[in-house]
Amino acid sequence: MKKINYRKLVLALADIVIIALCGLITNLLASIFFSSEYQASLGLLYYISVNVVFCMLVMVSFGAYARQWRFFNLRDYIMCFFALFIGNALAFAMFFLFGKPIGIGFSLAYFILCTAGVLTFRALFRTAFLKTQYSGRIENSAKTLIVGAGAAGQLVLEEIRRARYDMSNPSNDYLPVCFADDDASKLYRNIKGLPVKGTTDDIPQICQSEGIEQIIVAIPSTTPKNRKRILEICSKTECKIKLVPYLSEIYIDGEKPKLMQEVKDINIDDLLGREPITFDKTEIKNFVEGKVCLVTGGGGSIGSELVRQIAKYNPKQIIIVDIYENNAYDIQQELILDYGDKLNLVTLIASVRDYDKMDKIFNEYRPNLVFHAAAHKHVPLMETVPEEAVKNNIFGTFNVATLAEFYKADKFVLISTDKAVNPTNVMGATKRCCEMIIQYKAQYSTTTEFVATRFGNVLGSNGSVIPLFKRQIENNKPLTVTHPDIIRYFMTIPEAVSLVLEAGAMAKGGEIFVLDMGEPVKILTLAENLIRMYGKVPYKDVEIKFTGLRPGEKLYEELLMNEEGLKSTANKKIFIGKQIHINPTELLSQLDHLQSVVETNDSEATVHVLEEIVPTFNHKTNKP
């Protein structure tokens, strides 16, 4: 048996009483100011009864009692207005047809009075009901500033208001107080009942004067550079910051997107201020589909993302090679969970230093594409044991590149770094030497196309500064920054890997592909913003200590060597460095000498030979 909704029944009874009383009041007013033939007559009671019946029937058919009172809006009030108008008109028409016409003036006054009564009762009851039931909820909601009073900001405001009384909706946590907007035509106006208190430059002052606790940045169509500027201003406050994603990232189901479902916490990527990197997925698919792909260092941060993205393009087989079994196991299990038996996946524990083992792997699987991500890349650690960096980075690369050529792989893609440009540290010098090996191979190989991809620091990768900062904040430790002026180029792991794949797809052999990474970022600014993202105040809640440049570290990184120059590609964000001619006899002789030196584990002699092989390596400039 269906449960009776007593609230709706009370509302219906109240409407009946109001409509009836308004008929009597209309008659009373008419008798005072005019002559009324229905004064205290049976005909008046018939008319009021018929009017009540018709009005209630139309109200029910219009759904006036189907909606919860707390959700009543302008549309519902308009619907009640028309329902009462139709009900009154039907009563008037019925009496006219049966020869008992009602005065038009009386009928019109009755309609106006009962409409005013019904709508006023609804408005007053809704206000009283909500104040009684939800005053605590509203008081506990965080005062919120919405940045952007355009379409997105207004939609966010509407969603918060609609959801305010839904106990299960996270939008309950917001109490919109005002807007901030840079559009001069909107300043100091009220938009949907909310004032525009100032521009984005005024955000700190607005937050202080209005007691703002949360900020929602609702400008999904702005440029990354402007978004970065706004987020940096917001980060100067102590408010929690939320962000509406770019339009291209918003999922739209129906006519209007549900923006509050898309709102996210800001992350460090949002503060880079670079245009999103786009890639030709069709070209990458044609490059990967149906191929046997081998990824060295496949368990690392870059290697594992390479494997993830390659898996999306229907390869014939993926071979993960890594010396660290824990990482290899993690990515293996992730892919098994995602793809099951649909992905032909092989995971092997092996070192690129071991030529015989790598030879066995190449001989068995015959990869078409080789992505070489295995490397030692921690700059300070490699300064202390340069011979290990050489063994792994240089000779590991030489082994894999030689085998790729011998077994006629289609392409070999080296993962390089901006630290290879005019290197001042051992790690950078070894990676520059790897680039030289690849360019040497490209000059003489008739079976395999060799290519290198070079990019800056990768957010979240092993060895990146961001995970270190996060650990320090979470453990209530000071953040350690080497120098207040140190700057770096940054990109995300998916961007880095997409560059690798597209570079591989467009490679003809010998190129060094370089990504336009936009403006460099000060590490100190990154540290301060990360502290604010945790809801803390730099230098007050979290100390920042300057530790001095580490061995081999320089204040800024370069992406291109002076002699290389740039050549554009079909992707405006990707450039090609001019290939430098390598003297094979000289290079091979130097590598033989280097190998004999590193076998003695003589660190100083290893660095000396590296300086001979890589002319741009200036190790003395950054010694502590």
Provide CB contacts within 8 A for 15, sequence distance 6+: 55, 56, 59, 118, 121
Which residues are paired to 458 by β-bridges? 491
What is the DSSP code (8-state) at residue 419? G
Contact 266, 309 (CB under 8 A): no
Q: How many C-beta neighbours within 10 Å does residue 456 have? A: 21
How many C-beta atoms surround the C-beta of residue 566 within 10 A?
A: 12
End-to-end, the C-alpha distance of the chain in Å comes to 84
Report the distance separating Cα 336 and Cα 341, nearest Å.
7
For residues 125-150, one letter each, b for 16 or more C-beta atoms within 10 angstroms of the residue's C-beta and e for the rest, the string is bbeeebeeebeebeeebebbbbbbbb
- Please indicate whether residue 377 is annotated as part of the active site: no
Return all residues near 55 (Cβ < 8 A) that are at least 6 apart: 15, 19, 83, 84, 87, 88, 91, 114
Whether residue 514 contacts residue 567, with contact meaning beta carbons closer than 8 Å, is answered with no
Q: Which of 228, 391, 419, 573 is catalytic?
A: 419
Q: For the chain, how big is the Rg over CA atoms in Å?
A: 36
- The partner residues of 371 in beta bridges, in order of sequence, read 295, 413
The pair of structure tokens assigned to 478 is: 């000071």
Cβ-based burial of 571 (10 A; exposed 0-12, middle 13-18, buried ≥19)? buried
Catalytic residues: 419
